[in-house]
């Protein structure tokens, strides 16, 4: 959140998250870094996007900022930020400064970054357990190393450095996996913007366009709703749809081919993730219809399994079986459905997992297994269900009419108290609905 938007910034959700984390940190401390600007080329930089864990606890989106959380101590929440500098801000944008970090973002204490070496030893003195990412940027690593050395050097004078270190990523991931009300509201806004991007691209599609034109349509809708792409948009036409993370987006759209769009908008540091596949000219061929119906059946079968107490492993197994049945029917694989599944023969055409957690990161934080068992789904979990089939253009084992086609259908699912909600239900995926909307702008 930028300081120019302070009128709409609500610090309460971030404070509530810090309080939840504080209960798990107990008498330890949590140390996080917001991240640094990254060079794009020469002296130009990418737009800054803060570390997801840091932003999750603060709402602050400024580079180099540092959070130190010390439950039960005074100050409990400390922020180190870039100072206010009018000349620097003229070139690179406004900063909140230490005063804004306290007044706007709710820090109990705030200092300029230059004070880190002076303040960190004092603030870490007596902390037994330190939670911090095991990979830290050089500036923070150096300051932490110096602070620990100082405290150990003066141990005889009563100074005490932390003696145990824990990975903060695991700590934060286990909180982030259950979406609180604010996270879910942001996620819904992101998914709504994502949906509008997909709908716009469907309406605009016509033979002769290029993949990048659909990318532009998608991302225009994101931006006009105050969002950014949550990841690099994939627009794969024809055989390009068989490349899972195809991002060149520079090929023409040809009548008679399918086009796959995998795109999600990010809002308030939460991202949607939607994939749809549809015919460039608005009509499925018979072979495309057969292939698409298999993936759609798998998508629906997986969604039907989404409920509290279930698991994404079971969802994956159900989707794989549905795909295997279809592969057998289309003569993509030989043998019984059980044989296709047990031997892994299906992996020739379906080589990825069906689901991943979704939230502040498109592949969000949180363990998939607990005590060596698939994690049971709980209300508040959000994840994708995205089965697909990918048949290379030169695959001589596949029927000729199916070669060079890739189909993926991806929805975002929220687990509720009594089942699930398909957050992406507003984006059509039935064949009749797709044929009704594709190319609508040109009719």
Residues with catalytic function: 43, 245, 262, 273, 352, 356, 363, 386, 390, 408, 410
Torsion of CA 223, 228, 230, 236, to 10 degrees: 50
Give the integer Cα–Cα distance in Å for 431 and 279.
10
DSSP-based three-state secondary structure for 212 = helix
Q: Which residue has the tokens 């009594």?
A: 418
241: helix, strand or coil = helix
- The set of residues, in sequence order, having a beta carbon less than 8 Å from that of 76 and lying 6+ positions away, is 22, 69, 70, 108
Closest CA to 130 of 51, 176, 70: 70
- DSSP assignment letter at 356: -
Instruction: Report d(CA 198, CA 201) in Å as an integer.
Output: 5
Number of H helices, E strands in the chain: 13, 21
Residue 164's alpha-carbon distances to 39, 155, 168, 372, in angstroms, are: 35, 16, 12, 25
Bridge-based pairing state of the strands 39-41 and 44-45: antiparallel
- Find tokens 């794969």 and name the residue: 236
Strand partners, 267: 270
How far is Cα 33 from Cα 393, in angstroms, rounded to an integer?
A: 46
How does strand 411-416 pair with strand 419-422?
Answer: antiparallel
Q: How far apart are CA 389 and CA 405, in angstroms?
A: 8
Which two three-digit tokens encode residue 410? Answer: 């991806």
**413, 384 contact by CB (below 8 A):** yes
Query: Among 64, 193, 73, 85, which residue's Cα sits nearest to residue 138?
Result: 64
């Amino acid at each position: 959140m930028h300081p120019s938007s302070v009128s709409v910034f609500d610090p309460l959700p971030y404070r509530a998250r810090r309080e939840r984390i504080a209960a798990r940190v107990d008498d330890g401390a949590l140390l996080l870094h917001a991240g640094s600007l990254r060079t794009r080329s020469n002296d130009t930089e990418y737009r800054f996007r803060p570390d997801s864990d840091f932003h999750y606890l603060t709402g602050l989106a400024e580079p180099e900022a540092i959070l130190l959380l010390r439950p039960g101590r005074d100050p409990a929440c400390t922020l180190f930020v870039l100072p206010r500098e009018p000349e620097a801000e003229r070139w690179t944008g406004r900063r909140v400064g230490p005063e804004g970090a306290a007044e706007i973002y709710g820090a109990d204490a705030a200092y300029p970054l230059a004070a880190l070496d002076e303040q960190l030893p004092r603030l870490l003195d007596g902390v037994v357990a330190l939670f911090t990412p095991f990979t830290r940027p050089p500036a923070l690593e150096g300051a932490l190393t110096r602070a620990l050395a100082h405290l150990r050097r003066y141990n005889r004078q009563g100074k005490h450095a932390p003696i145990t270190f824990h990975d903060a990523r695991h700590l934060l991931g286990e909180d982030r996996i259950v979406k609180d009300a604010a996270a879910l509201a942001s996620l819904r806004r992101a998914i709504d913007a994502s949906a509008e991007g997909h709908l716009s691209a469907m309406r605009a599609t016509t033979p002769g366009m290029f993949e990048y034109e659909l990318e532009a349509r998608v991302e225009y809708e994101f931006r006009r709703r105050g969002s950014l792409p949550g990841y690099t948009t994939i627009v794969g036409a024809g055989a390009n749809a068989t490349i899972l993370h195809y991002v060149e987006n520079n090929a023409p759209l040809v009548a008679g081919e399918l086009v796959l769009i995998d795109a999600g908008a990010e809002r308030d540091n939460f991202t949607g993730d939607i994939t749809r596949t549809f015919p460039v000219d608005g009509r499925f061929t018979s072979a495309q219809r057969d292939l698409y119906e298999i993936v759609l059946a798998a998508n629906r079968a997986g969604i039907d399994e989404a409920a509290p107490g279930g698991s994404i492993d079971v969802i994956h197994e159900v989707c794989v079986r549905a795909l295997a049945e279809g592969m057998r029917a289309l003569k993509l694989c030989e043998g019984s459905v059980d044989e296709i599944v047990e031997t892994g023969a299906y992996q020739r055409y379906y080589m990825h997992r069906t689901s991943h957690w979704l939230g502040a990161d498109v592949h969000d934080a949180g363990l998939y297994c607990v005590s060596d068992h698939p994690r049971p789904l709980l209300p508040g979990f959000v994840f994708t269900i995205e089965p697909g089939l990918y048949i290379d253009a030169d695959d001589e084992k596949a029927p000729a009419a199916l070669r060079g086609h890739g189909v993926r259908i991806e929805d975002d699912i929220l687990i509720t108290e009594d089942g699930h909600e398909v957050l992406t239900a507003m984006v059509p995926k039935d064949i009749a609905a797709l044929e009704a909307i594709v190319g609508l702008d040109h009719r």
